Amino acid sequence: MSQSLKTNTDLREEILELKKKRNAVILAHNYQIPEIQDIADYVGDSLGLAFRAQETDADVIAFCGVHFMAETAKIINPEKTVVLPDANAGCSLEESCPADKLEAFLKANEEKNYYVITYINSSAAVKALSDVICTSGNAVRIVEAAPKDRPILFAPDQNLGEWVSRQTGREMDFWEGNCYLHVEFTRESIAKIKEEYPDAAVVAHPECTKAVRLLADEVCSTEKMVHFCQESESKNIIVVTEAGMLHRLRKECPDKNLIAGPTDHCACAECRFMKMNTLEKLYQCLKDLKPEVTLDEELRKKAEAPIQRMLDLSADAPASDLVRYSWDQEFLALFDKCLKKYRDGNEDFTTYYTDGDLNFLNSIGYREREFFDFVEDYADYGDPAPETALLVAAARRDYFLYKMGGKPSGEKDLNPADLPAKTAELEGIVWLPRILAKARGKLKGELDPEIMFCCGGDRKFLSTHDISPADFLRTVWSAEASDDPDMTMAKFVKAVSKA
């Protein structure tokens, strides 16, 4: 055992060295073996991986997933070298829809003028015959954006298709394909494990059959499973998808008891294709730059258009769908959740948070109302954006954790009556005394709930002087070390101001 551990350690080091030498990025799907997930630069679902593949400036993409995923990365990155550890890592969904059969079907039904929505689990040739691609993470959004006057053909996963049709109320015709693995979960196998854990929540992938989906509290993509488990009030959660998902979930939700959904004949389910990749093969493919994904240019271009359509339609997906790891993801997920509650008409923010949410807010030095103020202003005025709220919270969090040692100051809050007047000036700069007092209170967590740093008046000041709210906070922090923090801030504003 120590021998294999040593081998893995050596391999890891050699992979990291090769990665540097090749200027490579390692992308891994949530179903990959733990050793691969742990060494990857990004681990996620098909949608997140497609975005990461599009954004990367690496020369080489080592794609640890199945072939269609690596092929998708190549389609949108023709100039990059895309390798995958095992070229035989296919997918039963891809196999269930050969391009020639789909082409023949579309020809035979030409008069229907189908709008073809194809699941990303398909070959480049099938993608090239499609109007738009979707993943399980954005299928609802893609179907909702489909032209209303054309019938939809959804290929190749009938189960995902049925689920999305139910979610959107949109009728569609289905290609009869499925994932060999996800259909192995049965109503009986899931009901049985539920009997063992009667209080457990159940989260299932939409590739499962309807009978299984009906037993689930949530049906979603693998990435959204992370948010579901983080937010769920249940300690026990049954996860009905490929077993590799459990590794990611256990890292991201250490306080939960995550139980692999069983099939009728197995305690968990592993995709034989996903599990073809190993650390050794990853090392080898980075070393030899083989197996490499290559594509005929004409086919690539045809397949690129529907993928790009999907990426464009998903570009403003909730931010929490697209980022991963730790507190920033949790912050944005909580932002999305509260925004939804507010938009649904619930204005009582005190009902928004679970105990877990409150613990999270405490851990970054935030209060309930302070967080809500940003949600409310975004919902009402579209400003500050969630990304700005995140950066502001990051400044406060860093100050709280590093400067204050993670402990509240114990000082009295700054009250609205204590604030400098709106007309007060410092070095001729109106509003500066007021926002400075608020910024200091914000950093230290000493603001009365009635005061919001980055309210409409602050935003006007900041945009007039072209300073982002988080930059302002961080400069206030560093100015603390100067002899005259007020004068330092006045100098800073004058230096950067475009007013």
Q: Report d(CA 57, CA 339) in Å as an integer.
A: 33
Q: Which of 207, 252 has the CB closer to ligand 13P?
A: 207
Binding string to ligand SF4 for residues 404 to 433, with x set by CB under 6 A, is what? Answer: ------------------------------
**Which one among 35, 45, 86, 242 touches ligand SF4, defined by CB under 6 A?**
242
* Sign of the CA dihedral running 480, 485, 489, 491: negative
45 near ligand 13P, rule: CB under 6 A: yes
3-state secondary structure of 318: coil
Q: How far is the CB of 271 from ligand SF4 (least distance, A)?
A: 3
Kindly state the smallest distance separating residue 369's Cβ from ligand SF4, in Å: 43
The angle that helices 386-398 and 432-444 make with each other, rounded to 10 degrees, is 70
Beta bridge partners of 83: 62, 292
**Binding status of residue 92 toward ligand SF4 by CB under 6 A:** yes
130 binds, among ligand SF4, ligand 13P, none (CB under 5 to 8 A by kind): none
Strands 201-204 and 173-174: unpaired
Nearer to ligand SF4, 181 or 447 (CB): 181
Beta-carbon contacts of residue 415 (< 8 Å; ≥ 6 apart): 448, 450, 451
Q: Which does 92 bind (CB under 5 to 8 A by kind): ligand 13P, ligand SF4, none?
A: ligand SF4
CB atoms under 10 Å from CB of 62, counted, come to: 31
Amino acid (one-letter) located at 412: K
Q: Which does 328 bind (CB under 5 to 8 A by kind): ligand SF4, ligand 13P, none?
A: none
Q: Whole-number minimum distance, CB 125 to ligand SF4, in Å? A: 17
Based on CB atoms, which residue is closest to ligand 13P, 31 or 461?
A: 31
Q: Does 121 bind ligand 13P (CB under 6 A)?
A: yes
355-363 helix and 326-343 helix, angle to the nearest 10 degrees: 130
DSSP string, 137-171: TTHHHHHHTS-TTS-EEEESBHHHHHHHHHHHT--
From ligand 13P, ligand SF4, none, interface partner of 137 (C-beta below 5 to 8 A by class) = ligand 13P
Q: Which two three-digit tokens encode residue 395? A: 């400044």
Stretch near ligand SF4 under the rule CB under 6 A, chosen from 85-93, 98-106, 400-408, 460-468: 85-93
CB atoms near residue 257 (< 10 Å): 13
Beta carbon of residue 141, minimum distance to ligand 13P (angstroms, whole number): 14
Structure tokens belonging to residue 268? 């968990």
**What residue ranges bind ligand SF4 (CB under 6 A)?**
66, 91-93, 121, 179-182, 207, 242, 271, 273-274
**What residue ranges bind ligand 13P (CB under 6 A)?**
30, 45-46, 121, 135-137, 179, 205, 207, 221-222
